[in-house]
């Protein structure tokens, strides 16, 4: 069967790619567009390593077909920093040592950014439940939660 | 959180003990870092593995002809593509390996020994074609009876996995094959006599389930073999020299022909110390003459890569009324998976290591079952035996009416204590962690309704081993540091800090990388909590080598004897009677004249790092148990551990916190669930539930520092010990909350509720 031609916006840039019907958005991002910052940990939507935003909404890109990206605006980890300036979340993750191996980090940053856009002043419990779909096996989450809370505080200008 | 900042008055160091940003950090928060599955090569093929659907079956034949004919298939391999290997156990870090088994584990030969066992592999131009090809491979199986549980596997009449396995370590030598690979024994004093002095004796049986390391990144590699036999592998691994050795051995190639590059690694915890895909990818690439990329699915990770053992453990401890332990015994039956080599030996050695006990007897059995071969998992073997021992010690304290920390202090191992497994300890921090626990506010805070508090300690040996590092002083005075132990959680930061401390140069003037196997001499893997210890020791030596060479160059320039020049606070200067005769030169200035004074300045260290020292920990945990559902929730946790010296305290804390989280998962949720058909029923993160952010509280840490005299900065390994105490800490807290002692893991809600109901019926429950 012929491949599908998809045009979409990724991190503000217009992109086009060809994909198979069964291909996931995750595979298209990684294999067609070379954006390997988005990770595959399970391919069943359980680990959150592949978190991206689609028209501002947080999704597991392993659970979405690439053809469904047609006309959509996709946000990935590669679009989180602004030029040379890291996003406050990225900076706080480094300052708080909120990553060890770093494989879950892109997904967690994308998810945390989506949280702070909806809720700039989350409680610790809200952060913990929002990130409950993003597995981290290294850190025990302590420093991740602190980094997100600290970034939220800085972004609020508090 | 303990704070130590640069320039803190009283600190003898400028960099050690501070919290700089890690040098690989920006790459990891921007998505730039390249992990195992992130590399793509021009013309690469996709490799996929056909796996056994049966837990135990004889392979009568494999027909790959239809798969080979499928358009787009470029290579197919089976066990026949690998040579037979002789049976011999050789040390591989904290575990032993036998190539006769390794060759069978990467690809089954005469039998499939577990569901998920690799049977054949294909390389094709797309994943879809590769999958189609797997479906075309015909395997003629003779299904055999299987055995999943270690105790069942030890019974007479159990299905035998290996016809040539006779239990080692028993007299007289058995004449019939068995699933028990070996029996081991560690004896100190006379346990039977010791028990006669005891006022109280408690004996309990424990059962633990296999748990998976659960790294978020599945195994992944790309292999490329050229027409002249030069091979390259890019792989997510804890040790690329080890991957090289295994692959060269399994394929019969020269070690020097194989170059392995370590990608960034997305978690390992011991599980990435062995090979699964790498030899297959190389064999496929050689046949196909194209690069081959292989990535496991999560389901394959669960079904086919090593978890740690499940075990049956019996513990018996006797103590006098004053709390002194007079005798201790343990019997450990660890399941190894399909091939011999469970971590029962370290399990035996750790069992009573935190304590000074005169009479100890520990017996261990290594038992094969139809499950994936176990791999190392953070302090392999220790958490299982110590869970049992620390639970019984808690019960003894309760029975004698002695505070559990006091009871441990009365029996704590210290410098000079002879361990039951042989050595006399140097300085160790058992007493210090217990004192810190006693002094911690957590220990005294009142508990609420349905809540309980537990405490437990833990021990792990830590290792050193072969290590190489190079440190080049560049023309402009900056430095390039190349180490060979993959960085899983901040190694590059700590190596950079140790080099900066030695050389007195700013951290940002040193760029540190993990070199490939052609760039350095042999490096043993990142495991055994050895990388900051060993590569740190080598980095210090390499830095001192740079300093020595810098002094030599200045001596040449100043026409002085070499020993008349010294390095002091970042500068080379004349010493002794010549002091002040020449203007001191900075390393940068020496770098600038390197060409004229003898050529490039590079420090090397090639060491076998000795003097690794154990790290001990004491943990405190509060749980709240829901009396209606049986769900136990950890509401407060404090991990106290001896780091020797924390080079970068944030990453030391991170190790403590991460180990605790894994331990809580092991205690409360995680287990392999098998059906009567011998098939794993929960090979995914939905049903094999690791702790998520909403399951856990903040995890408080206290870094105790009892420096290791054998390391230039006092470093002990810290990565593994943190997973040792949590299971008993949580169990002791649940016992405190409910009045019920749990001896089976995981302490999941249905199990807790059932036990609570029984206890309520008999009137022994506290809720």
B217 pLDDT band, cuts 50/70/90, is: very high
Mutation for B interface: A90, A92, A98, A137, most B CBs within 10 A: A137
Containing B44, the helix (H) or strand (E) segment is none
- Determine the average pLDDT of the residues in B145-150: 97
Q: Is the dihedral of CA B726, B213, A36, B36 positive or negative?
A: positive
Distance from CA of B217 to the nearest CA of A (A): 5
Enter the ipTM: 0.98
Position B1 scores a pLDDT of 39
Q: Which residue on chain B is closest to A81 by alpha carbon? A: B30
A14 pLDDT band, cuts 50/70/90, is: very high
Assign A8 to helix, strand or coil: strand
Phi, psi of B586 (to 5 degrees): -80, 165
Contacts with A, B 336-375, CB within 8 Å: none
Instruction: Give the domain ranges of chain A.
Output: 4-79, 88-155
Cis ω for the linkage preceding B420 (within 30 of 0): no
Contacts with A, B 96-155, CB within 8 Å: 128
Percentage with pLDDT > 70 across chain B: 98
Position B94 scores a pLDDT of 66
B4 pLDDT band, cuts 50/70/90, is: very low
Distance from CA of A72 to the nearest CA of B (A): 21
Category of B714 on φ-ψ map: left (φ > 0), alpha (ψ -120 to 50) or beta: left
Question: Which among B479, B469, B467, B468 is positioned nearest to B601, based on CA atoms?
Answer: B479
Give chain A positions within 8 Å (CB) of B264.
Answer: 101-103
Interface contacts (A, B; CB < 8 Å): 186
Give chain A positions within 8 Å (CB) of B34.
Answer: 36
DSSP code at position B751: H
- CB within 8 Å: B685 and A46: yes
> What domains can be seen in chain B, in order of their start residue?
426-462+613-767 (3.30.365.10), 464-609 (3.30.365.10)
Distance from CA of A57 to the nearest CA of B (A): 20
What does pLDDT average to over chain B? 96
- CB within 8 Å: B690 and A105: no
Please give the Cα distance from B487 to B23 (Å, whole number): 11
B2: tokens are 């303990």
Give chain A positions within 8 Å (CB) of B685.
Answer: 41-42, 44, 46-47, 135
Category of A34 on φ-ψ map: left (φ > 0), alpha (ψ -120 to 50) or beta: left
Query: Using CB atoms within 10 A of its CB, is residue A34 exposed (0-12), middle (13-18) or buried (19+)?
Result: exposed
Q: Are B601 and B546 in contact (CB under 8 A)?
A: yes
Position B338 scores a pLDDT of 98
Please give the Cα distance from A127 to A139 (Å, whole number): 15
Q: How do residues B95-106 score in pLDDT, each as one tens digit?
A: 778 999 999 999
- CB within 8 Å: B653 and A86: no
Contacts with A, B 628-657, CB within 8 Å: 648, 650-651, 653-655, 657
**Nearest-5° angle of CA B169, CA B172, CA B177?**
70
Position B93 scores a pLDDT of 66
Task: Give buried/exposed letters for B92-104 (b at 16+ CB in 10 A, else e).
Answer: bbbbebbbbbbbb
Q: Is the Cβ of B297 closer than 8 Å to some Cβ of chain A?
A: yes
Q: Are B310 and B319 in contact (CB under 8 A)?
A: no
Assign B528 to helix, strand or coil: coil
Percentage with pLDDT > 90 across chain B: 95
Give strand pairing partners of B262.
B235
Please give the Cα distance from B153 to B370 (Å, whole number): 9
Q: Are B710 and B610 in contact (CB under 8 A)?
A: yes
Q: How do residues B661-709 score in pLDDT, each as one tens digit?
A: 999 999 999 999 999 999 999 999 999 999 999 999 999 999 999 999 9
Q: How do residues B106-136 score in pLDDT, each as one tens digit?
A: 999 999 999 999 999 999 999 999 999 999 9
Question: Which among B87, B83, B82 is positioned nearest to B163, based on CA atoms?
Answer: B87
Please give the Cα distance from B599 to B105 (Å, whole number): 49
- Determine the average pLDDT of the residues in B304-309: 96
B91 pLDDT band, cuts 50/70/90, is: confident
- CB within 8 Å: B40 and A135: no
Position B9 scores a pLDDT of 54
Q: Are B275 and B247 in contact (CB under 8 A)?
A: yes
Question: Which among B650, B659, B626 is positioned nearest to B749, based on CA atoms?
Answer: B626
- CB within 8 Å: B213 and A135: no
Position B201 scores a pLDDT of 98
Report the C-alpha dihedral over residues B140, B144, B150, B156, rounded to 10 degrees: -150
Q: How do residues B509-568 score in pLDDT, each as one tens digit?
A: 999 999 999 999 999 999 999 999 999 999 999 999 999 999 999 999 999 999 999 999
Task: Give buried/exposed letters for B276-296 (b at 16+ CB in 10 A, else e).
Answer: bbbbbbbbbbbbbebbbbbbb
Distance from CA of B314 to the nearest CA of A (A): 30
- Determine the average pLDDT of the residues in B717-730: 98
Assign B653 to helix, strand or coil: helix
- CB within 8 Å: B267 and A103: yes
Architecture of domain A88-155: Orthogonal Bundle (1.10)
- CB within 8 Å: B693 and A129: yes
Mutation for A interface: B692, B723, B726, most A CBs within 10 A: B692
- CB within 8 Å: A101 and B698: no
Q: DSSP secondary structure string, A44-77?
A: SSSS-TTEEEETTEEEEGGGSBGGGGTT-EEE-G
Q: How do residues B225-264 score in pLDDT, each as one tens digit?
A: 999 999 999 999 999 999 999 999 999 999 999 999 999 9
Q: Are B559 and B742 in contact (CB under 8 A)?
A: no
- Determine the average pLDDT of the residues in B269-280: 97
CA B315 vs. chain centroid, Å, equals: 25
Position A1 scores a pLDDT of 67
Q: How do residues A93-106 score in pLDDT, each as one tens digit?
A: 999 999 999 999 99
Position B656 scores a pLDDT of 98
- CB within 8 Å: A102 and B28: yes
Predicted confidence (pLDDT) at residue B487 exceeds the cutoff of 80 = yes
Q: Which residue on chain A is closest to B213 by alpha carbon? A: A137
Please give the Cα distance from B514 to B712 (Å, whole number): 22
Give chain B positions within 8 Å (CB) of A94.
Answer: 21-22, 25-26, 29
Q: How do residues B363-417 score in pLDDT, each as one tens digit?
A: 999 999 999 999 999 999 999 999 999 999 999 999 999 999 999 999 999 999 9
Assign B665 to helix, strand or coil: helix
What does pLDDT average to over chain A? 97
Architecture of domain A4-79: Roll (3.10)
B10 pLDDT band, cuts 50/70/90, is: low
Position B117 scores a pLDDT of 98
The H-assigned helical ranges of B380-512 are: 382-400, 404-411, 430-439, 441-444, 491-503
Nearest to A103 among B266, B648, B699 (CB): B266
Give chain A positions within 8 Å (CB) of B215.
Answer: 101, 103, 137
Nearest to B488 among A36, A78, A100 (CB): A100
The H-assigned helical ranges of B521-586 are: 536-558
- CB within 8 Å: B30 and A86: yes
B2 pLDDT band, cuts 50/70/90, is: very low
Reported pTM:
0.97
Nearest to A135 among B25, B650, B692 (CB): B692
Q: How do residues B612-660 score in pLDDT, each as one tens digit?
A: 999 999 999 999 999 999 999 999 999 999 999 999 999 999 999 999 9
- Determine the average pLDDT of the residues in B597-622: 97
DSSP code at position B421: T
């Amino acid at each position: 069967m012929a491949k599908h031609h998809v045009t979409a916006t990724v991190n503000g840039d217009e992109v086009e790619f060809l994909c198979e019907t069964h291909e996931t958005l995750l595979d298209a991002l990684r294999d067609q567009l070379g954006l390997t910052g988005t990770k595959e940990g399970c391919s069943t939507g359980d680990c959150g390593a592949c978190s991206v935003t689609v028209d501002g909404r947080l999704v597991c890109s392993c659970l979405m077909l690439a053809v469904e990206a047609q006309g959509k605006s996709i946000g990935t980890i590669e679009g989180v920093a602004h030029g040379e300036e890291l996003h406050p979340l990225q900076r706080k993750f480094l300052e708080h040592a909120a990553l060890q191996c770093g494989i879950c980090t892109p997904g967690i940053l994308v998810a945390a950014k989506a949280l702070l856009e909806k809720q700039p002043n989350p409680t610790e419990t809200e952060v913990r439940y929002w990130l409950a779909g993003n597995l981290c096996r290294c850190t025990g989450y302590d420093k991740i939660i602190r980094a997100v809370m600290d970034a939220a505080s800085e972004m609020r200008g508090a | 959180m303990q704070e130590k900042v640069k320039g803190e008055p009283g600190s003898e160091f400028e960099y050690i003990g501070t919290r700089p940003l890690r040098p690989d950090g920006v790459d990891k928060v921007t998505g730039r870092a390249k992990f195992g599955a992130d590399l793509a090569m021009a013309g690469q093929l996709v490799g996929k593995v056909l796996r056994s659907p049966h837990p135990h079956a004889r392979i009568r034949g494999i027909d790959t002809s239809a798969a080979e004919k499928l358009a787009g298939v470029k290579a197919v391999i089976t066990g026949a593509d690998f040579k037979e290997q002789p049976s011999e156990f050789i040390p591989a870090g904290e575990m032993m390996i036998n190539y006769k088994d390794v060759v069978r584990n990467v690809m089954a030969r005469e039998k499939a020994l577990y569901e998920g066992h690799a049977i054949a592999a294909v390389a094709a131009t797309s994943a879809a074609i590769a999958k189609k090809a797997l479906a075309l491979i015909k395997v003629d199986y003779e299904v055999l009876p299987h055995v999943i549980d270690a105790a069942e596997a030890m019974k007479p009449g159990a299905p035998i996995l290996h016809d040539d396995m006779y239990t080692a370590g028993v007299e007289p030598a058995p004449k019939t094959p068995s699933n028990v690979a070996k029996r081991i024994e560690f004896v100190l004093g006379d346990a039977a006599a010791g028990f006669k002095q005891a006022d109280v004796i408690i004996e309990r049986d424990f059962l633990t389930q296999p748990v998976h390391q659960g790294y978020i990144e599945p195994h992944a590699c790309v292999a490329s073999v050229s027409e002249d036999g030069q091979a390259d592998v890019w792989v997510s691994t804890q040790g690329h020299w080890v991957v090289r050795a295994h692959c060269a051995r399994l394929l019969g190639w020269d070690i020097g022909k194989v170059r392995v590059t370590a990608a960034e690694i997305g978690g390992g915890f011991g599980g990435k110390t062995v090979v699964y895909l790498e030899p297959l990818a190389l064999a496929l690439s050689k046949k196909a003459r194209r690069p081959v990329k292989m990535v496991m699915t999560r389901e394959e990770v669960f079904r086919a890569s090593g978890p740690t053992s499940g075990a049956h453990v019996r513990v018996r401890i006797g103590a006098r009324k004053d709390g002194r332990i007079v005798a201790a015994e343990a019997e450990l039956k660890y399941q190894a998976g399909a091939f011999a080599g469970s971590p029962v030996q370290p399990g035996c050695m750790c069992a009573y290591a935190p304590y000074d006990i005169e009479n100890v007897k520990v017996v261990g059995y290594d038992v094969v079952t139809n499950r994936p071969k176990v791999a190392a998992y953070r302090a392999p073997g220790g958490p299982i035996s110590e869970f049992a021992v620390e639970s019984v010690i808690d019960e003894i304290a309760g029975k004698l009416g002695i505070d559990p920390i006091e009871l441990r202090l009365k029996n704590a191992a210290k410098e000079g204590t002879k361990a039951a497994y042989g050595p006399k300890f140097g300085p160790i921090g058992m007493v210090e962690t217990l004192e810190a626990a006693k002094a911690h506010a957590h220990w005294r805070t009142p508990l609420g309704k349905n809540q309980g508090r537990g405490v437990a300690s833990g021990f792990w040996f830590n290792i050193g081993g072969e290590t190489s590092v190079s440190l080049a002083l560049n023309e402009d005075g900056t430095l390039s540091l190349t180490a060979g132990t993959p960085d899983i959680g901040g190694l590059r930061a700590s190596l950079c800090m140790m080099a900066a401390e030695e050389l007195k140069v700013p951290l940002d003037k040193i760029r540190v990388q993990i070199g490939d196997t052609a760039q350095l001499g042999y490096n043993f893997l990142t495991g055994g909590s050895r990388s900051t210890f060993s590569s740190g020791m080598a980095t210090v030596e390499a830095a001192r080598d740079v300093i020595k060479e810098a002094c030599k160059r200045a001596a040449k320039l100043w026409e002085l004897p070499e020993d008349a020049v010294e390095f002091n606070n970042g500068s080379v200067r004349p010493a002794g009677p010549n002091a002040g005769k020449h203007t001191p030169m900075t390393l940068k200035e020496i770098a600038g004249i390197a060409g004229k004074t003898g050529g490039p300045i590079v420090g090397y260290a090639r060491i076998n790092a000795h003097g690794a020292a154990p790290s001990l920990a004491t943990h405190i945990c509060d749980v709240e148990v829901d009396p209606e559902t049986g769900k136990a929730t950890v509401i407060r946790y404090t991990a106290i551990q001896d780091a020797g010296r924390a080079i970068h305290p944030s990453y030391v804390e991170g190790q403590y916190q991460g180990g605790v989280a894994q331990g809580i998962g092991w205690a409360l949720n995680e287990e392999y669930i098998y059906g009567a058909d011998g098939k794993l029923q929960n090979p995914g993160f939905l049903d094999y539930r690791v702790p998520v952010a909403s399951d856990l509280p903040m995890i408080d840490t206290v870094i105790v520092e009892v420096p290791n005299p054998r390391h230039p900065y006092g470093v002990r390994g810290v990565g593994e010990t943190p997973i040792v105490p949590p299971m008993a800490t949580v169990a002791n807290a649940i016992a405190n909350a409910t009045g019920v002692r749990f001896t089976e893991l995981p302490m999941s809600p249905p199990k807790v509720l059932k036990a609570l109901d029984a206890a309520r019926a008999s009137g022994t429950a506290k809720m």
